[in-house]
């Protein structure tokens, strides 16, 4: 089977900061080169990841320079943008992709954002498709590093985490039916949402990256997708998706003011 690796990107935040402990520059570069050798050409970075360290890290790959020289990096994307912002921005210049959090336990964009993107022909880039590592077993079968920002996320705290563990074990048991890991099943669910969906799971381990790529082998029917969705009723997910105050930067609040607005 030939895997359509273009359907998968690599979220690079964890290489410099984030949900796991930062890795060394050598290991970070090794991870990126390995991903590229597997056919991944979509790397997500931002200046806020590791206070510019992440963009600097990616800049040390000669392949990125090639992509610029070949004119392949020339598109515009938005992240956590409101429906109004997406529509207005698309009217100024075609938006290629919108990056939003989308996973089995975060599905609030399905009602408004997803239909809008499809109306306008905009690709959807789900970040944290594994629930910030939760569906890979983080905080359940694998401890959370002491310096991880996950300690601030409500779903990873106290009673919320205890309740959410039941969701993880439900997916883990269901994964046995599909002969894959819980992380692969959760990622396959996101991939199965449409050909216009390109998730960007992040990891600091090459084995996890290879496992993520292997999730492309899992083909789910509409019935399969429903069975998996039903295993994670949104009303059973305990805790908000973001720490207090972070929600102000989410799409539900982040509505860009009109161009002629006086601040």
Predicted pLDDT at 92: 79
Cα gap 185→182, rounded to integer Å: 5
Residue 49 annotated to the active site: yes
pLDDT band (50, 70, 90) for residue 187: very high
Cα gap 88→117, rounded to integer Å: 12
Q: State the Cα angle at 202 between 230 and 52, rounded to 5°.
A: 140
Checking DSSP bridges between strand 123-127 and strand 97-101, what pairing results, if any?
A: parallel
pLDDT in tens, 143-166: 888 888 899 999 999 999 999 999
pLDDT in tens, 54-93: 445 555 575 555 665 777 667 778 888 889 988 988 887 7
Which domains occur in the chain, in start order?
75-249 (3.20.20.100)
Predicted pLDDT at 57: 54
* 174-179 long-range Cβ contacts below 8 angstroms, 24+ apart: 174/227, 174/228, 174/231, 178/218, 178/224
What is the pTM for the complete model shown?
Answer: 0.77
Predicted pLDDT at 262: 46
Residue 10 near residue 209 (C-beta atoms within 8 A) = yes
Predicted pLDDT at 246: 72
pLDDT above 90 (res 178): yes
Q: Of 19, 49, 127, 168, which is the active-site residue?
A: 49
């Amino acid at each position: 089977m030939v895997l359509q690796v273009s359907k998968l990107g690599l979220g690079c935040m964890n290489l410099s900061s984030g949900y796991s402990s930062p890795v060394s520059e050598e290991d970070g570069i090794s991870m990126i080169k390995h991903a590229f050798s597997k056919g991944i050409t979509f790397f997500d970075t931002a200046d806020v990841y590791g206070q510019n360290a992440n963009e600097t890290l990616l800049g040390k790959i000669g392949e990125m320079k090639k992509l610029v020289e070949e004119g392949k990096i020339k598109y515009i994307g938005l992240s956590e943008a409101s429906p109004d912002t997406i529509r207005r921005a698309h009217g100024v210049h075609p938006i290629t992709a919108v990056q939003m959090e989308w996973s089995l336990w975060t599905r609030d964009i399905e009602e408004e954002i997803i239909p809008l993107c499809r109306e306008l022909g905009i690709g959807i880039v789900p970040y944290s498709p594994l629930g910030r590592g939760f569906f890979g077993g983080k905080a359940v079968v694998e401890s959370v590093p002491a310096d991880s920002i996950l300690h601030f996320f409500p779903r990873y705290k106290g009673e919320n985490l205890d309740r959410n563990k039941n969701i993880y074990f439900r997916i883990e048991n269901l994964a046995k039916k599909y002969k894959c890991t819980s992380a692969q099943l959760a990622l396959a669910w996101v991939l199965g949402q449409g050909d216009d969906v390109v998730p960007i799971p992040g990891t600091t381990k090459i084995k996890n990256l290879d496992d993520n790529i292997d999730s492309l082998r899992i083909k789910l029917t509409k019935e399969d997708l429903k069975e998996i969705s039903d295993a994670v009723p949104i009303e059973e997910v305990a805790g908000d998706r973001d720490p207090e105050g972070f929600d102000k930067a989410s799409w539900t609040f982040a509505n860009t003011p009109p161009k002629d607005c006086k601040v």
